[in-house]
Structure 1
């Protein structure tokens, strides 16, 4: 119960999560870079998806797993550019939360295979669109720095999660890991989905 209360307390944070500089648009190269580095870890829904994606990617051969993570990053880059260009994706916060729920379900159902990179790319579009909220109105220099740092950070988190998941699986704990990660993803995604729909 305490964990659920803590999760509900964090749920109103998605708006803050899209403004790593405290609500101000990055104005310098350093601010853009720092914002891009911090952004993937201050939004619990985004971080939950990256970690779940890493566990899912661990079921693929290493090279394909890395490519799957990079597909998410590439999709995110495209989604960010779409937002900057004024292209809307509808209820983005709800869609981000839905990707977390779906990732959790995929973990519980043991989903693997060639469709993961494509699924990650589609999810990346939604996450990237949400990420770009922090840089609307920024000049070119902080914008480029933000997108570069964001891509590096997301790739790093996803690949590290994949490598750690592979080690855990090699130690004989894959089923337990997938169950725990899947349930966590569903819970986090459901909370954020509820908040986004009510708000």
Structure 2
């Protein structure tokens, strides 16, 4: 337990990368640009990356480690497409932070999810992560073409699925045979810690404003 608490504390030092762009801000104009941007956003955005890692670990112990992450991928792509079409999920960034705390906490607890619950949780949060991804292309001046959008969606889907499956594989290689394994729970502690850190950043502004007005 001491190792778990230590890992959670260390994770608070992680800096969020919420709006990085793999093309250094250059507009996406080709299919290849779309793929590169789709691959880069989940990797450079630590909020998305940590959630996918936790999802891969949680999925490992559902007994359907290949199916359950696919529910997230499908919902995430839908959320991205909806945002591109102008339909945004409400308070997406706040829900994304909540997703880290919730899923990280589940993994930290050492309790395995059943398949139905895992699909429901992964897909629900996937819509909000996708909405954030959609904002990256929806906000591009002049919009993006169909080829760029297709490449972006492919990049997003492939890289996140690979990361999720890879995270489960790594935990297995580290000796985690069930959800109570310390290595798996350490991963949950890290993700939950990052979520708490990002949540504090969200509330910091309003708190400072209230104190200044007092």
TM-score normalised per structure 2: 0.81
Checking the alignment, whether the CA contact within 8 Å between 1:54 and 1:160 is kept in structure 2 is yes
Q: Which runs of 5+ in 2 are unaligned?
A: 1-5, 206-214
Deviation at 1:15, TM superposition (A): 2.5
Secondary structure in structure 1 of the residue aligned to 2:66: helix
Aligned residue number for residue 112 of structure 1: 113
Superposed counterparts of 1:12-161, under 5 Å? 13-16=17-20, 19-61=21-63, 64-109=64-109, 110-114=111-115, 115-136=117-138, 137-161=143-167
**Closer, same or farther in 2 for the Cα pair 1:3/1:79, shift >3 Å?**
same
Q: Which runs of 5+ in 1 are unaligned?
A: none
Deviations 1:22-74 (A, max 9, x none): 2333111111111111111101111111111111011022xx22110110100
User: Rg larger in 1 or in 2?
Assistant: 2
Corresponding pairs, count:
192
Secondary structure in structure 2 of the residue aligned to 1:65: coil
Which aligned runs of 4 or more in structure 1 are off by greater than 6 angstroms? none
Which structure shows the bigger proportion of residues in helix conformation?
Answer: 1
Checking the alignment, whether the CA contact within 8 Å between 2:176 and 2:184 is kept in structure 1 is no
Q: CA RMSD in A?
A: 2.2
Aligned residue number for residue 165 of structure 1: 171
**Closer, same or farther in 2 for the Cα pair 1:169/1:25, shift >3 Å?**
same
TM-score normalised per structure 1: 0.87
